[in-house]
Amino acid sequence: MKLAFSTLGVPGLPVAEVLALATGHGYHGVELRAHPEEPVHVSLGAAEREDVAAECKAAGIEIVGLAGYTRVAAPGDDGLVLAEIHGLLDLAHDLGAPFVRVFPGAAPDQPREEADATAARRLGTAAEYASALGVRILLETHDSHRTGADAIRVLGRVGHRQVGALWDVMHTWLGGEQPSETYAALSPYLGYVQVKDIASADDTSPLPLGAGVLPLTECVDVLCRHGWDGWLCWEYEKRWYEAAPPLQELLGTGREHLARLLTDAA
């Protein structure tokens, strides 16, 4: 497996500095948060996109994916949601990124059947555009669909190779799902895995990998046991927790921890 980290942990940092952190600490890739407050977003012009792609290539660092914020199950106009997804797909294609992340995002009072059908309809429509660009759309285990069992209700309806899953280990754990259960549900669709650590279900402030309660050992074990060979991406949510220590200070020990987990599981 290859190791990456998300720019959610270094909010607003220029791409060149992100790449320097990756190469300096032995990571193979980065997940770029695609948001207007970040250096990489859908409003970037063609020349800027070329520059980002060239910087990454020169550094030897892969872009794992673009972390977008489109909520595919949310009530509202399909056209607006599809336009957001298309923008992310265009950006990913121009940067050479294989994946874009979307959220489920159903409303709290939205009937489950309606939310599942809405998400599946939009993802199925967007899949054809994604296929033409060679980019996959990944539905993250998050918010209204936080477990693998939740996500599979949508993905099974879509049934398109360009629509898959992003496994966020915190959300599946908070949803009461064991890693073996999550993998069994998502394995036919799995794009990559986001790892992190937290103190408890009541305190989700980011911690160094291995310092909290999330079942990282079990997650890596099940992935290795089944021969899965994708990306492990550390999503350290510094953007939402200003008091958390800087990710820059933790990247080295975080990579070492993941490397130990992989070695022990081999």
10-residue block means of pLDDT along the chain (266 residues)? 97 97 98 97 98 98 98 98 98 98 98 98 98 98 98 97 98 98 98 98 96 98 96 96 95 97 90
Conformation bin of residue 113: beta by default, left when phi > 0, alpha when psi is -120 to 50: alpha
Across the chain, the runs of DSSP E, i.e. the strands, are 2-6, 29-33, 62-71, 99-103, 136-140, 163-168, 190-195, 231-234
Q: What is d(CA 69, CA 85) in angstroms, rounded to the nearest whole number?
A: 9
Euclidean distance between CA atoms 222 and 184, whole angstroms: 10
Look at residues 77, 76, 172, 158 and name the one whose alpha carbon lies nearest to residue 117: 158
Residues 39 and 61: their CA atoms lie apart, in Å, by 17
- Whether this model's pTM surpasses 0.85: yes
The Cα–Cα gap between 240 and 236 comes to: 10
- Rama region for 52: left / alpha / beta (φ>0; ψ in -120 to 50; rest): alpha
Q: How many CB atoms lie under 10 A from the CB of residue 135?
A: 24
Q: Quickly count: other Cβ atoms within 10 Å of residue 212's Cβ.
A: 18
Domain residue ranges of the chain, discontinuous segments joined by +: 2-265
User: What's residue 109's pLDDT?
Assistant: 97
Nearest to 24 by CA among 180, 265, 261, 248: 248
* pLDDT at residue number 266: 79
Tokens 């990559």 found at: 192
Which CATH number does the domain 2-265 belong to among 3.40.50.1820, 2.170.190.11, 3.60.130.10, 3.20.20.150?
3.20.20.150
Q: Are 128 and 96 in contact (CB under 8 A)?
A: no
Distance of CA 239 to the CA centre of its chain: 15
